[in-house]
Amino acid sequence: MGRRFTKEMYGMKKYIFSMGLMFGLLLAAAQPFSPAQAHFMTSAEEREIGAAAAERTEEKYDVAWDDDIVEIQKRLIECNPTQLNWNDGRHTRWLAPMKLYHSDHPNAFMLRGGYSYMADSMVNFMNTYQNDGYTNSNNLRPMNRSNIYNTSSVAFVMGHEFGHWAGKDHLEGYDKQFGLNLLVGIFGGQAGSVGGALAQSAGVNLVDTLIDRQMSFNQEKGADEWGIKFLENVPEYSTGGALTKFYRFMKLEEIRYPDGKRPKNFRNPHPETQKRFDRVADYIKKSSNGRVGVNSYGNVFLDRVHLDIPSRMDVADVERSFYIAGQIAAAIKKDIFHRENISVVAPSESRYGYDPNIPRMSYVVFSSKDGSEVKILDLIAYDKTRSYEENLNSSIYGKAEIKMMDQIIGLMEEYDRTHPRRR
């Protein structure tokens, strides 16, 4: 089964490329004017100002490359070829590799021109095991490979920032709010600009001001939408990663502001965390034709039945529930949530979430016949080299994991039985 799966996967690369090319051509034909004409700034100007801002940022913070962060960016770009790209010689706008910066405030930002940064504390907050709003830096999970749950959350933070870039939010924002002269004034360090004076009187660093002030609520909402759509197209990333991110921030806010009142902070225009959570949950519901429900207590429902999702050593309970909710919804949307689409794949043989070091685990994978659509439903404690019965009795987890899969697959088959498809 693993072999067949691998063969299908190889067929996929070509398909994605040609589809990407086709969509690109369609988009180009559909657009009445080029982006450069739509805004008064060219891509080159945008990048020049972005590069200057990136320089300022790197003077202010300790900045570092990180292989894992670059790997996540690589996955987001290769699975979203019509929206995201590197500097590949074919595009006038491109994303620079995202860098980490050292800060105790878990944050991330996109400068114009595709230069983006994520705080190390944000990465750690997503990688920590517990879901209680704290970070235990002695107990962090690595990213990538089979670490699909926390990697999804980091990927969402990244996807949100890439959404600001893909949505051309800086171009829109500066056009409306600042104008080029004011911007140059700020970067040139000249006194007298309204934005600069405001920022100085508020004691706010100019770099921070430029990072946060420029985004409107609508742009933040839009960036969340871009972010979850980017995740949806990566087989091993779940939109549930967004739910986990917001869940953890809600817990963090409970710790910081136990009375529920948060300071009105003009530097943080992100819509309230609960609302952002609810919007992702709403997206999951709608994209699954109303079949997948998820709430901020970590409960997941498929066809109105509560799913019994067990915790495991390597994954905290709500995080796993959110992951599965997002993946079921995406599989339904891609019309691959059917019996004939399921396979069980050893991580050592998987093209996605490849990991040779966990022989006792398996991915439950949904894929289309031609391999063009793939979603990993979950990583379960199931050793493919052993029989079903052996797995059932071999580990303390085995029974609960198989029971969970039986429940999900049972509901899936029941739905398909009662909703015959037109072929």
Positions that interact with Zn ion (CB under 5 A)? 220, 223
CB of 223 to Zn ion, least distance (A): 5
Walk across the sheet containing 63-64 and list its strands: 63-64, 99-101, 115-119, 108-111
Beta carbon nearer to Zn ion, 172 or 220? 220
CB of 111 to Zn ion, least distance (A): 12
CB of 108 to Zn ion, least distance (A): 8
Beta carbon nearer to Zn ion, 46 or 220? 220
Beta carbon nearer to Zn ion, 146 or 214? 214
C-beta neighbour count of 209 within 10 angstroms? 19
Beta carbon nearer to Zn ion, 141 or 221? 221
CB of 69 to Zn ion, least distance (A): 17
Beta carbon nearer to Zn ion, 103 or 295? 103
CB of 121 to Zn ion, least distance (A): 17
CB of 383 to Zn ion, least distance (A): 42
CB of 160 to Zn ion, least distance (A): 6
Beta carbon nearer to Zn ion, 54 or 300? 54
Q: From CA 277, how far away is CA 247, in angstroms rounded?
A: 7
CB of 110 to Zn ion, least distance (A): 7
Beta carbon nearer to Zn ion, 8 or 220? 220
Beta carbon nearer to Zn ion, 220 or 378? 220
CB of 257 to Zn ion, least distance (A): 21
Beta carbon nearer to Zn ion, 223 or 330? 223
CB of 278 to Zn ion, least distance (A): 17
| HEC per residue, the chain | CHHHHHHHHHHHHHHHHHHHHHHHHHHHHHCCCCHHHHCCCCHHHHHHHHHHHHHHHHHHCCEECCHHHHHHHHHHHHHCCCCCCCCCCCCCCCCCCCEEECCCCCCEEEEHHHEEEEEHHHHHHHHECCCCCCCCCCCECCCCCCCHHHHHHHHHHHHHHHHHHHCCHHHHHHHHHHCHHHHHHHHCCCCCCHHHHHHHHCCCCHHHHHHHHCCCHHHHHHHHHHHHHHHHCCCCCCCHHHHHHHHHHHHHHHHHCCCCCCCCCCCCCCCCHHHHHHHHHHHHHHHCCCCEEECCCCCEEECCEECCCCCECCECHHHHHHHHHHHHHHHHHCCCCCHHHEEEECCCCCCCCCCCCCCCCEEEEEECCCCCCEEEEEEECCCCCCCHHHHHHHCCCHHHHHHHHHHHHHHHHHHHHHCCCCC
Walk across the sheet containing 342-345 and list its strands: 342-345, 362-367, 374-380
Question: Hey, what's the torsion of the CAs at 119, 123, 126, 128, to 10 degrees?
Answer: -120
Q: From CA 297, how far away is CA 210, in angstroms rounded?
A: 36
Residues 115, 96 contacting (CB under 8 angstroms): yes
CB of 144 to Zn ion, least distance (A): 24
Q: In which residue are the tokens 């949505």 written?
A: 167
Beta carbon nearer to Zn ion, 112 or 384? 112
Beta carbon nearer to Zn ion, 172 or 373? 172
Q: From CA 93, how far away is CA 97, in angstroms rounded?
A: 13
